[in-house]
Amino acid sequence: MAPVLTIAQQKGGTGKTTLAAHLAAAFAASRRVALLDIDPQRSLRRWHELRAVRAPAPPAIAFADTAGWRLAGTLEQLRRAHDLVLIDSPPQIETEARLAIRAADLVLVPVQPSPLDLWAAEGTLALAAAERRPVRLVLNRAPGAGRLRAAIEAEIGQRALPRLDAVLGNRVGFATAFAAGLGVTEAARRGPAVTELLALAAEIEGLLG
């Protein structure tokens, strides 16, 4: 069955949903991708609805949103019918988030270069460790340079926290593409945002095998 990529972070506002959308669009160029939205805000559903009415139509991405007892069955159906399933989990460590992490072949934890984001990530990292799931931090909305980014990267290194090498910058291209129902790799053929997203996708692909 298809591998599952769960994007989880108990703190809101870290870019979890936009990361799920951009990765789904990038991977949809070459495989059958499904999105499972279990975040009560349902922002990913709005993005998918915008995508569905675009012309010309971008590559198809299957979509489902569910919760509670339906979650396990929906996830199994998506895994059987697709090549990759991405889960956008709720911004807390509750039952649905725990199940999404337990089902994951890889858990991504987006963090902005902020102590608050890094502290909030500790709960998700601990849950992934308890469930024995591979997990990686993703530095998101990062400035090109600066003391705060350097300090956060240093702390991640000193604590030997697992993270991806690829970094997503604080670029308007990500927000603009999302608002149009697209991934950044679909909205533009080149540019820093496209380069960063493709590097991240390639690194994830290597981990998923």
Rounded distance, CA 10 to CA 118, Å? 11
Tens of pLDDT along the chain (209 residues)? Answer: 899 999 999 888 889 999 999 999 999 999 999 999 998 888 999 999 999 998 788 999 999 998 777 888 999 999 999 999 999 998 876 778 889 999 999 999 999 999 999 999 999 999 999 999 999 999 999 988 788 889 999 999 999 999 999 999 999 999 999 999 999 999 998 999 999 999 999 999 999 98
Model pLDDT, residue 201: 98
CA–CA gap between residue 116 and residue 105 (Å, rounded): 26
Q: Assess contact for 140 and 170: CB atoms under 8 A.
A: no
Confidence (pLDDT) at 202: 98
What integer pLDDT is reported at residue 129 of this predicted model? 96
Spatial distance between the Cα atoms of 41 and 37, rounded to a whole number of angstroms? 9
Using DSSP's 3-state secondary structure scheme, residue 134 falls into coil
- Within the chain, where are the H helices? 16-28, 43-52, 70-81, 95-102, 115-130, 147-158, 172-179, 184-187, 192-208
Q: Tell me, what's the pLDDT at 172?
A: 95
Give 163's DSSP letter. Answer: B
Q: Report pLDDT for 148.
A: 87
Distance CA 148, CA 195 (A): 23
Amino acid letter, residue 33: V
All structural domains of the chain: 4-201 (3.40.50.300)
